[in-house]
Structure 1
Amino acid sequence: MTLYEECLEALGEGVEILSKKDSEEIFEWFESNFFISYGRIDWEKSKGLTLINSLEELPKCIQNEMVFILWDEADTPVLKANFRTVLDVIDDVTAVSFDTWLVGRDSGYVVEYHHEGDITIAILDL
């Protein structure tokens, strides 16, 4: 079983695997709202963001919505799952590839899990 398959199993029945077209659309939104440099978000060049210190600072409505899971491996399909469920199995999610992003497109936020251990959270100033 691959790490991706283990991630799917850990996320359970509520997870959705996006098509290639839908995955590309999510990546386009992500790249149009966040400046990506060397496989991570360049927070200084990404404008219109409010950085926050912890996941607990995200509004409760965000913590219960669906989130897109993106990895730095472009061939890996994007997943859509409940944010709270993703956090419950985050080790399985981040094991899939070096860098992982949780993207709440509707609410305009991102959580970046960088392979060096950094976790950065930002909300777009909409």
Structure 2
Amino acid sequence: MTLFDECIEALLPQVEVLPISQRNEHTRLMTAEYPISINGRIDWGMVGFKQKVSSCNEIVDVLKEHFDTINTDVLIIWDGAHLPVVKSKLTKIFEYIDDVTAVGFDTWLYCPEQNYVIEFYHEGEITVGYEVL
């Protein structure tokens, strides 16, 4: 069983693996809102609000300050172009965050509905961001 398979199994039943043909579309939508810099990270200098955190609990605290609900559908996007985008509830993802982040080198949780992104950078940094309107 691959790390991807283990991740999907952990997220069951609140998981939807989107067709690989949709990967480019979802990645394009995320990077249109949150441009990627030359080093493969989100260009945080172009994001209205960003905050580095050290845990999922801190992410929840940050999101609760700015959004009415946080248990929305979130897209999981990994840096590997061969991996499909996966949709799941944020709370379920946090329950199995080690399984989720083990799949790829870098991982982004993107919520198009509320327009925020969480970047799990491979060097251990976690950043939450959204555009201030």
Same fold (TM over 0.5): yes
Post-superposition CA distance 1:16-49 (Å, at most 9, x none): 01112322221011111112122211211x24x2
Q: CA deviation at 1:14?
A: 1.4
User: Which AA in structure 2 matches 1:42?
Assistant: D
| Unmatched runs of 5 consecutive residues or more in structure 2 | none
User: Against the structure 1 CA distance between its residues 63 and 112, is the aligned structure 2 distance closer, same or farther, given a 3 Å change threshold?
Assistant: same
Aligned to 2:6: 6
Q: Is the 8 A contact 1:18 1:77 kept in 2?
A: yes
Number of aligned residue pairs: give it.
124
The structure 1 segments of at least 4 consecutive aligned residues displaced by more than 4 Å after TM superposition are: none
Aligned to 1:121: 128
User: Which AA in structure 2 matches 1:113?
Assistant: F
User: Which AA in structure 2 matches 1:76?
Assistant: L
TM-score w.r.t. the length of structure 2 is 0.86
Aligned to 2:44: 43
| Unmatched runs of 5 consecutive residues or more in structure 1 | none
**Overall identity of the aligned pairs, in %:** 40
Q: Is the 8 A contact 1:70 1:103 kept in 2?
A: yes
Q: CA deviation at 1:62?
A: 4.1
TM-score w.r.t. the length of structure 1 is 0.91
User: Against the structure 1 CA distance between its residues 71 and 65, is the aligned structure 2 distance closer, same or farther, given a 3 Å change threshold?
Assistant: same
Q: Is the 8 A contact 1:110 1:122 kept in 2?
A: yes
1:1-126 equivalence runs, <5 A: 1-37=1-37, 38-44=39-45, 46-47=46-47, 49-52=48-51, 53=53, 54-55=58-59, 56-59=61-64, 61-126=68-133
Post-superposition CA distance 1:28-76 (Å, at most 9, x none): 11111112122211211x24x2113531120364421010000000110
